[in-house]
Amino acid sequence: MSKDIESRDVSLRLFEYTAHHLSAKILSKEICATDLVKHFLERIKSVEPHIRAYITINEEDALKKATEIDKKIGNGETTGLLAGIPVAVKDNICTKSLSTTCASKILKNFIPPYDAFVVKRLKEEDAIIIGKTNLDEFAMGSSTENSGYKITRNPWNPEYVPGGSSGGSAAAVAADLSMMALGSDTGGSVRQPAALCGIAGVKPTYGRVSRYGLVAFGSSLDQIGTLTNDVKDAAILLQVIAGYDSRDSTSMQVSVPDYLNGIDSGVNGLRIGIPKEYFAAGLNADVHNALKDALKLYERLGAKVIDMSLPHTEYAVAVYYIVANAEASSNLARYDGVRYGYRAPKSNGIIDMYSRTRSEGFGNEVKRRIMLGNYALSAGYYDAYYLKASKVRNLIKNDFDIAFQQVDCIICPTSPVPGFKIGERAKNPLEMYLSDIYTIPANLAGIPGISVPCGFSKEGLPIGMQILAKHFEEKKLLQIAYAFERETDFHLKKPVLKVSSEQR
């Protein structure tokens, strides 16, 4: 910690504040952006070796940007919503002049020539990109064990996974290695790691946030989301990245409301749907009990809990792994060793070069999904698999459409378990895929969802509660989540981390 900060308050630990609190301190000149960034960089040097959340640390540029922001504030110039706030970015989101690897060896040396839409928006609002976070390779996984570079560890217990595929982003926020982070959510990859790491994770409506600059996995499912310490920070970060972008053909021209305005309106009279399919066999007892307690709290706050059904839920995982893998096999065909990325050094002709490049550059999980996707799209199997899956996907979407005629939101677990040990499911892909059983349906239907912490397991691991709403009702989701957060202290709990003496 710098001497300037120490002189203001010896006991002050800036990483324990939320972004909206720190933003106010920066604007009032109580602290300066440069000191804040230095503080986080020091924290990263001390804690990161034990968590392994980052692939790239953007130290030089972050300090330069912080200095510029301090000058703007000193000169009385107008600053953005996130002035001086360190934000981590998942390493499948393009950042100009800063490495973007997708945690894959095939993109080890790739440096994008442009910023993703969301990164451009962060910079416009004076946020500071502090680094690029680890993920399952090409966002394919639920544990961040499939990275081509490192395994990220859960800050609450380093023997456990942080979830995936945005495990690096979730762990960075939970371990106070960044104030906020961006992730991507194709089948739960923001909400599930948020749940396992005890933070707030938002998957916006498909089309609410531009996918321009997000390296594609499943194009009809991918959506960039937020990972933050609390719901108000989630509202601010979503405010920054949401909005129409002409460069993304799936971006919707829908107005973006003020997400903080009315966030404390409460839930009195709200109708909460409880789908029986999400509370069936396989749900961990600690998770079930935490959800029951949360629902009782909502009832005390004036909400009405309604039992309901989403009858096609049982098909969601099968549908997802046909649709997502089919789209992945198409999207990843571009990595051929010709235009950019890794190329096998020795080959016998162009076909052999393609084969060697992809065999050596991709990890096992990515190759597995490419092969499954190609199979589902192949002649003779397209109708039996991809076409049928697309039809069932529509049935799953219709289930939600019908449900939201009866209720204002749906509440359910985010993950069937609080977390699992590193290596526990690594050799059992089907068991790993079931980690996303409660998050996948929202991606198939394109609806928004948020996960917020609602308890802890007997082992001391965080438990997440998922709230789902109609398309483009993120404002309502944030309001419902904040009503719970305001009455509880789960979001205030912090993991005990292994750190150097300077940070104790």
Taking residue 287's Cβ as centre, other Cβ atoms within 10 Å add up to 24
Q: Which position has the token pair 């079930």?
A: 288
Pairing of strands 180-184, 86-90: parallel
Residue 189 falls in the annotated catalytic set = yes
User: From the candidates 169, 189, 329, 415, which is the catalytic residue?
Assistant: 189
CA distances from 348 to 138, 336, 340 (A): 28, 15, 20
Spatial CB neighbours of 125, under 8 Å, sequence gap ≥ 6: 80, 81, 82, 83, 240
Phi/psi of residue 410, nearest 5 degrees? -120, 135
User: From the candidates 23, 38, 46, 90, which is the catalytic residue?
Assistant: 90
Containing 50, the helix (H) or strand (E) segment is helix 33-51
Structure tokens, 274 = 């409880």
What angle in degrees, to the nearest 10, is found between the helix axes of 59-74 and 19-27? 50
Q: Is 465 helix (H, G, I), strand (E, B) or coil?
A: strand
User: From the candidates 165, 166, 435, 457, which is the catalytic residue?
Assistant: 165
Q: Is 87 helix (H, G, I), strand (E, B) or coil?
A: strand
The dihedral region occupied by 446, where left means phi > 0, alpha psi between -120 and 50, and beta the remainder, is left
Residue 3 falls in the annotated catalytic set = no
Residue 90 falls in the annotated catalytic set = yes
Structure tokens, 92 = 């499948």
Separation of alpha carbons 125 and 172, rounded Å: 21
Rounded CA Rg of the chain: 22
Spatial CB neighbours of 185, under 8 Å, sequence gap ≥ 6: 166, 191, 201, 203, 222, 223, 224, 225, 439, 443
Contact 383, 164 (CB under 8 A): no
Active site (catalytic) residues: 90, 165, 189
